[in-house]
Chain A
Amino acid sequence: MFEITVNNRIIDAKPEETILSAVKRAGINIPTLCHMDDFLPSGACRICCVEVEGMPGLVPSCSYPVQEGMNIITNSPRVIKARKTVIELLLANHPDDCLYCVRNGNCQLQNLADQYGIRERRFVGKHKTRNTVDCTSPAIVRDQSKCILCGKCVRVCEEIQNVSAIDFVGRGSSTVIAPAFNQGLNISSCIYCGQCIMVCPTGALRENSFTKQVTDALNNPKKIVVVQHAPAISVSIAEEFGIEPGTDVNGKMVTALRRMGFDRVFDTSFSADLTIMEEASELIQRIQSGGKLPLMTSCSPGWIKYVEQFYPGFLENISTCKSPQQMLGAIIKTYFAKKEGIDPENIFSVSVMPCTAKKFEAARPGMGRDQVPDIDATISTRELARMIKTYGIDFGSLPEDKADTPFGIRSSAGKLFGGTGGVMEAAVRTAYHMLTGSELKSLQIEEVRGVKGIKEAKLNINGLELGIAVVNGVGNAQQLLEQIKSGRKDLHFIEVMTCPGGCIAGGGQPRNTDIEKIKVRLKSLYSIDKSEKLRTSHKNKAVQQLYKEFLGEPLSHKSHELLHTNYTKRDVLI
């Protein structure tokens, strides 16, 4: 530690940190656009410039290391003028259609223009009218006219997800961000995780919205509109309504969905329990009959697409189980439709997901029967929040309600699916029961909890040494795949979630890349698990009844028909 002077105040700084990080700790704000915590600085946008005594020019604080005795001014007239010019130049090519923009009100560029008092257009760029929207993908829409070339999406795609679907194309003022050969996202190697949307400071990246289809269905008297919400939604949607992050608003959300006119409100955590029954059985079957190991989870559609493109040799390792979204979708249009005497064609099945890739998953071949899709529309947490506001529902004051039976009954194990390690924890609880007939002494498996990228553990179940690994972020998963490729054999079961932190930080969630706030969402899931009585999937009465009445047993013929799927190699430019 040594001392530096900032705005005539003396503050402590650590050797080898940047000016930005030292100054931030002292409670002084410096605006940033291209900066991301825990990434190498790129220094692309120059909005974070500060004045350092003795330096001829302004320096970018995000990438400039502190030195002992430095005298820094973060708000001199020169600095303010430079920042203002940076914003004005960024706006030179901007379409200025804030009123029509999905990020209206939570756009970093808009906020900066406001904070720095930009009241007129000083420059008009030659790309001002450029209108190139890529809406080819089922999940993500890219609008290059709003792009400020900060490069965050490129870095997240490369450094966290190891996909590199997009990069800077061209040079100088004609630079754009695009997939190889300027192709549409739909035929690129993009895995639709949506992490690029989460880091985008403007409206250049957004989800492909399905709110109109949902509203149309709600207004169609012929349709029975059924909705399911994923485990991660109830612990994160609160943030969209200004409620304390991490608050579980499950009851309020159910009320809101009912008031919007959904005929049935189900919980995807129910089918997470169902997934566990199938997946744990599959794991045991593979171990006992010498099947392909390690078994890898299949709940995360971005991960599936990643393996299909980059590691098709591992496709046999992936569980054939559909994701909870698709399992419930299939059950709704078969079992539920039959039981209620509704023609499946008249059911409009909506899923609320923390994910953008789920939109793609719902459109995969094999996710329906007789030309009727299992899921008709997938909306993200953000889209649901927007709809609730459109419907004029005062979320904060809503009473609490319970989801409908039978698919609203869930164990807290199913709820854990919303965060990294949750699928593993739930699966181990049930696999242990299936193998031994008794319950784990401690249901809480500490080794798989937390947001660390790769977590591993060895469990001993009746003499069977079970090697498990939990990874989040595809880049981390790739490391593990490479280890297995080069001969690692001690793992039996691997849980992969595409997004860092799991679904709680999925690409469809309230925009927040602050790891501390994401940890709060995870903590909320843990406290739900701690406080509830029904904590294992196999004890879920509704799941048991479904097997008794309809499916028979896990891995039965009927299960395979409805709850399992297959994967194929994808030919895309990788």
Chain B
Amino acid sequence: MEEHIYKKIFSKYRGSKRDSLIPLLQEIQHELGFLSKDSVARVGGLLNLPTSKIYGVATFYNQFRFQPYGKYHIQVCRGTACHVKGSANVLSALEAMLNIKAGETTRDGMFSIEVVACIGACGLAPVISINGEFHANLVPSDIEKIIGSYKNRKTLEE
């Protein structure tokens, strides 16, 4: 399956140079959801670039992630309105509660956090979106309840 995806993407980039690095990484992330060690090594082989360099470029941009999404993907809005309304504290509360940083996924694969710029719901600031469900007008103390409800969902499904 993965092999097939790499083949499909790489066939377009045969003979490419380092300037194709970012579009190539974007396509891989689009297909596979994240950049694995394997995919970075493969890109290195194709473009003749060291993996450290590729990782350096990829970490420069917010858009790339190096772990697969969790079952519940949390997007934290850090746009201007949310910032003014205290989204930094919401993000810290999330990070502390899940014990991961933005861009990471919990070990059990349940939750992942992503920081996004304005998601166009400034009236609801500060706002987060979990798998497309919006949670509005948050204060840091709300986080425990919200995450708890998703954890319960998990147990119910099981």
> Chain A residues in contact with chain B, CB under 8 A?
158, 163-171, 178-181, 188-189, 573-574
| Contact between B59 and A171, CB atoms less than 8 A apart | yes
Shortest beta-carbon distance from B28 to chain A in Å:
15
Closest to A168 in B: B56
B149 at the interface (CB under 8 A from A): no
| Contact between A171 and B52, CB atoms less than 8 A apart | no
| Contact between A180 and B40, CB atoms less than 8 A apart | yes
* Residues in chain B near residue A189, CB distance under 8 A: 50-52
B17 at the interface (CB under 8 A from A): no
Shortest beta-carbon distance from A479 to chain B in Å:
15
Shortest beta-carbon distance from A166 to chain B in Å:
6
Shortest beta-carbon distance from A516 to chain B in Å:
32
Contact flags B38-76 to A (C-beta < 8 A → 1, else 0): 001100100000111111100111000010000000000
With known contacts A573-B37, A573-B40, A573-B41, A180–B52 Cβ distance under 8 A:
yes
* Residues in chain A near residue B60, CB distance under 8 A: 168, 170-171
| Contact between A180 and B54, CB atoms less than 8 A apart | yes
Shortest beta-carbon distance from A185 to chain B in Å:
11
Shortest beta-carbon distance from A360 to chain B in Å:
19
Shortest beta-carbon distance from A140 to chain B in Å:
15
Besides A167-B55, A170-B60, 14 more A-B contacts (Cβ < 8 Å) are: A164-B50, A164-B52, A165-B50, A167-B52, A168-B56, A169-B55, A171-B61, A178-B52, A180-B37, A180-B54, A181-B55, A188-B52, A189-B52, A573-B51
* Residues in chain B near residue A178, CB distance under 8 A: 52
A171 to B40, CA, bound (A): 19
| Contact between A165 and B59, CB atoms less than 8 A apart | no
* Residues in chain B near residue A171, CB distance under 8 A: 59-61
* Residues in chain B near residue A180, CB distance under 8 A: 37, 40, 50-52, 54-55
Size bracket, chain B contacts:
10 to 19
> Chain B residues in contact with chain A, CB under 8 A?
37, 40-41, 44, 50-56, 59-61, 66
A179 to B52, CA, bound (A): 6
Best-buried of A180, A573, A574 by chain B (most CB within 10 Å)? A180
With known contacts A180-B40, A181-B37, A169–B56 Cβ distance under 8 A:
yes
A178 to B58, CA, bound (A): 13
Shortest beta-carbon distance from B10 to chain A in Å:
18
Q: Identify 15 residue pairs between A and B in the complex whose beta-carbon atoms are under 8 Å apart, listed by A's number.
A: A163-B50, A166-B52, A167-B52, A167-B55, A171-B60, A180-B51, A181-B55, A189-B50, A189-B51, A189-B52, A573-B37, A574-B41, A574-B44, A574-B50, A574-B51
| Contact between B66 and A181, CB atoms less than 8 A apart | yes
Closest to A183 in B: B37
Closest to A310 in B: B50
* Residues in chain A near residue B61, CB distance under 8 A: 171
A511 to B60, CA, bound (A): 32
| Contact between B53 and A164, CB atoms less than 8 A apart | yes
Best-buried of B41, B52, B59, B60 by chain A (most CB within 10 Å)? B52
A195 to B66, CA, bound (A): 30
* Residues in chain B near residue A165, CB distance under 8 A: 50, 52
A574 to B54, CA, bound (A): 11
* Residues in chain A near residue B53, CB distance under 8 A: 158, 164, 167
Shortest beta-carbon distance from B146 to chain A in Å:
27
Closest to A169 in B: B59
Shortest beta-carbon distance from A151 to chain B in Å:
11
